[in-house]
Amino acid sequence: MKRVKITKGAEKFIKQRSYTIFSKWVRKLDNGIRNGEFVEVYRGKDLIGYGFYEEIGSIGVRLLAYISENPPDTLEEIIRWRVEKAYKIRMRGGERPEAGYRLAYADSDGMPGLIVDVFNDVSVVQSTSFGWDNNLHQLAESLVELGVSEKVFAKNDQRARKLYGLPVYKRYLAGDGDGSTLIREGDAIFIVDYMRGHKTGFYLDQRPARLRISNIDLSNGTVLDLFSYNAAFAVHSLLAGASEALIVEEDEPSTRIALENLRLNGHIVKGHVMRGRVEKVLDYLVGRKRMFDLVVVDPPAFIPSPEFVDKGRRAYKVLFKNAVKAVKPGGFIYASSCSYHLSPSELLDMVKVAAESLGYESRVVFENTPFNSNPYTRVVDQELRYLKGYLILLS
């Protein structure tokens, strides 16, 4: 097996058992190491672990195991060992496949560059790693043999793969099917279209917020669900007593999924799906003084990287200000951001300032923190704590 070494600059990260090591701290000890190759990782003369040598952006090595963890010593056994550890943690935490859950969350589960979500009888895999790409069939074999799921689907169509030079594709690694399944979340039933939908097919990280909204009193109220994707927020709101929901989504396949979810939950008449650019639709509604008892604002990341911070902050401020204008006095807004470079306090302040400009007082009813949105995340993995959201009563 070929070898690489980690230089002293990475001491802090080694000490806290980080699994992603930047290329500036990685040196090859052998020639001809291929991108994604399984290697031994040394610090000085000591073998400290095993991982994938990667040349992806600033990444140099994705460690799969430290020697201090007493791992197996072959790649096939390490993959199975990692899957089994993650699976036992989720089962002990009470996760159930019929509801859907995240099995593998990158570094937090010792599988950097990999996401695995389980929905009913299928595991949906997303990789941003040459090493994982080379070993997905071994991963699928472990998932099936350990009883995690009967089917495994690779949803490797994310934009980041193109940037890294990884091929874009979608296919079954184990089993087959039509690319969709059903899950139950609280009192709601949702179709998870993992073949054609966003990400792995369903946004599990917003589940705590959706379930909290399902418990507020929306009797005969109206709901505006912006950047809706699959109408999950709208469905829970209608189940909570709302009489009408306007669902706004730009993506055409997503509008079809939204309509199907409304039908599954018996609310096809109460839910109205509008396809269009959200900002323009919101401007139209505000201009005509349309107001709602609940407005949900869950946009894509306006700050995908540090160079977009200023532009992204301006976009968030305009969006949240207009969204507040669409909330009835005594109504609710759920404002969320998945931009790592926008802090929770910045998000909250944007809504507070917008509310104050309209004479509202803001009261936080619920906070969707990075830890309850992605449970089982290690405390040291700060870069994985991206999502934040607030359900706010405007009075």
Q: How many residues make up the chain in this entry?
A: 395
Cα(99)–Cα(243) distance, integer angstroms: 26
Here the tokens at position 347 are 């998000």
By C-alpha distance, which of 263, 249, 258, 265 is closest to 297?
249
- Token duo for residue 225: 């669900």
Q: 287 with 318: CB under 8 angstroms?
A: no
Q: Which amino acid is at 240?
A: A
Position 223: which residue type?
V
Q: What is each CA distance from 110 to 59, 135, 154, 281, in whole angstroms?
A: 15, 15, 19, 43
The DSSP symbol for 205 reads G
Question: The tokens of 64 are what?
Answer: 């799969």
Gap between the Cα atoms of 318 and 172, Å rounded: 42
Q: Which one from 41, 140, 223, 338 is the annotated catalytic residue?
A: 338
**Chain centroid to CA 228: how far?**
15
User: Distance between CA atoms of 188 and 303, rounded to whole angstroms?
Assistant: 32
Q: Is-contact 61 53, C-beta < 8 A?
A: yes
Q: Which two tokens stand for residue 116?
A: 């695995």
Taking a C-beta distance cutoff of 8 angstroms, is the pair 191, 264 a contact? yes
Q: Is 338 a catalytic residue?
A: yes
CA distances 346 to 129, 183, 308, 349, 353, Å, are: 32, 34, 15, 5, 10
**Alpha helix segments (H runs only) across 6-111:** 11-15, 75-92
Q: What is the DSSP string of 114-167?
A: EEEEEETTEEEEEE--HHHHHTHHHHHHHHHHTTS-SEEEEEE--HHHHHHTPP
Rg (CA), the chain: 22
Active site residues: 338
